Amino acid sequence: MKNCKIGSSVSIVDPCNIYECELSDNVKIGPFVEIQSGVVIGSGSVISSHSFICEGVTIGQDCFIGHSVVFVNDLFSDSDSFHEWNIKTTTIGDSVRIGSNATILPVNIGDGAIIGAGSVVTRDIKAGSTVKGNPAK
Q: Which residue has the higher pLDDT, 137 or 1?
A: 137
For residue 28, pLDDT over 70 is answered with: yes
Residue 111's Cβ-count burial label (10 Å; 0-12, 13-18, 19+) is middle
Count of domains for the chain: 1
CATH number of the domain enclosing 31: 2.160.10.10
Q: Are 124 and 108 in contact (CB under 8 A)?
A: yes
The pTM for the full model equals: 0.93
pLDDT digits (tens, 9 = 90+) for 67-85: 999 999 977 655 555 566 6
| Domain extent for 118 | 1-137
